[in-house]
Amino acid sequence: MAVAVKKKSFLDGIPDAPPDPILSLRTLYEEDPAEKKLNVSVGAYRTDEGKSYVLPVVKEVETMMLDDPSLNHEYLPVEGLKEFRDATAKLAFGEDSLAIREGRCVTVQALSGTGALRVGLEFLSRFYAQGAKVYIPEQSWPLHRRIPPLSGMGEVGLYRYFNADTKGVDFTGLMEDISHAPNGSIIVLHPCAHNPTGADLSFDEWKRLCTVIAEKGHLPFFDAAYQGFATGDLIRDRFALEYFASQGIELMLSQSYAKNMGLYGERTGALSVIVSDKSIVDRVLTQLKQVIRPMYSSPPAHGARIAATILNNPVLFDKWNGELKLMSGRILEMRTALKLALQKLQTPGSWDFLEKQIGMFSYTGLTGPEVDFIQEKYHIYMMRNGRISMAGLTTSTVDYLAGAMHDAVLNAPKGHL
């Protein structure tokens, strides 16, 4: 017999949590009974048939793994799979990276990019100068704003990033803000395929930024979620990482294999810390393990094994490169197709920028009311800041999206709310 309940639930006053600006759209899309609908919200690659995609090279490795008697389901160490940790640092900083050769780079496996950011920021909250602020671009992935306070780093500061007129990087504004931030601030940077704007710094701008960061004693924290997805070239896309590391600067890096290997749900990623002095490295590693162990104990093995196999085998690595070129190439085709479709409709505005933006997303400039209008009338789901995942678009859906955008630009309520 149940005991008599005398009081209300201790959760009685629990408020509703605000919906996630990206992930909630998937639920809305799935629940939408409309026959014609489209989801271009989350940054996940789809084939031209609109299907999610397992990279052939990943499938090949998984097939090999099935028959590999040496594999088991034991725990990985707290810091993750050694073969993966070593290879992922080289992918980011280069095979010949001085920092790696000098033993100044510490890498731990993490729960994909998000987990790496979280572990990295918790680590900084314990050991970085008290009161230092984390700066993120004014336009950024929403979790960049949320993770630092939850990790004990306080509210973030913002630096200017995007020029809405040129649809490119506001490099003057960015440099001003980074040089006015208090010395020793933590600067979150997207090394390529900036999310959501698709606007990246040029190589020359990265070099100039590196000089200012060094002069100010800032700590750059790179978030690399799209290596290989910006240009299709893993080496070109790591320019900023390789360059900063080569300048002897201390830095942090989160890496994700969600997009570039399509390992979204396998939570495959890494956190690296480059320090100036080799003698600190062991202590950094033990303290990173102290952050990880009570958080989730140890990372998942499957994705790390796949990534390690691909990264360490030249034949598989080449196949992966080819597949990255195909994926990023399809995204480029969608950019051109959307631009042409809008131009054909004579939608007001210039749409050339769609081709200039880089990576998975287009930052269309559509306003909140225009996005709402499109969602309501056309059942097309995109982020309310006007971000579209180009990877979610297909040859057969481009015209539908262009038509909806055209209608919205002409007929949606004006304003920015």
The residues annotated with a catalytic role in the active site are 141, 223, 259
Question: In the complex with ligand KET, which residue's Cβ is closer, 22 or 91?
Answer: 22
Instruction: Please report how close the Cβ of residue 214 comes to ligand KET at its closest, in angstroms.
Output: 24
Residue 139 contacts ligand KET per CB under 6 A: no
Site map (CB under 6 A) of ligand KET, residues 36-75, x = contact: ------xx--------------------------------
DSSP string, 54-100: --HHHHHHHHHHHT-TT---PPPPTT--HHHHHHHHHHHH-TT-HHH
Token readout for 19 is 């919906």
Amino acid letter, residue 325:
K
CB nearer to ligand KET: pick between 223 and 250: 223
Task: Give the length of the chain.
Answer: 417
Terminal Cα-to-Cα distance of the chain (whole angstroms): 54
Size of site (CB under 6 A) for ligand KET: 15
Q: How far is the CB of 309 from ligand KET (least distance, A)?
A: 19
In this structure, what token pair is assigned to residue 58? Answer: 């990943």
Distance CA 37, CA 117 (A): 34
- Per DSSP bridges, beta strands 268-274 and 168-169 are unpaired
Q: Which of residues 206-245 bind ligand KET (CB under 6 A)?
A: 223, 225
The SS3 assignment for 295 reads helix
Name which of 43 and 300 has its Cβ closer to ligand KET.
43
Residue 11 CB, shortest distance to ligand KET, in Å, is 27
Segment contacting ligand KET (CB under 6 A): 107-115, 205-213, 271-279, 303-311?
107-115
Tokens at residue 142, please?
Answer: 């929403």
User: What residues between 182 and 211 interact with ligand KET by CB under 6 A?
Assistant: 190, 195
Given the structure tokens 């992930």, which residue do they identify? Answer: 23
Residue (of 309, 191, 185, 325) closest to 255 by Cα position: 191
| 141 makes contact with ligand KET (CB under 6 A) | yes
| 172 touches 119 (CB < 8 A) | no
Site for ligand KET in 250-279 (CB under 6 A): 256, 258, 264, 269
Q: How far is the CB of 348 from ligand KET (least distance, A)?
A: 28
Residue selected from 80, 94, 113, 359 as contacting ligand KET according to rule CB under 6 A: 113
Q: Which residues contact 189 (CB under 8 A, 6 or more apart)?
A: 220, 221, 222, 223, 240
Determine if 107 is a binding residue for ligand KET (CB under 6 A). Answer: no
CA distance 203 to 209: 10
What residues make contact with ligand KET under the rule CB under 6 A? Answer: 22, 42-43, 112-114, 141, 190, 195, 223, 225, 256, 258, 264, 269
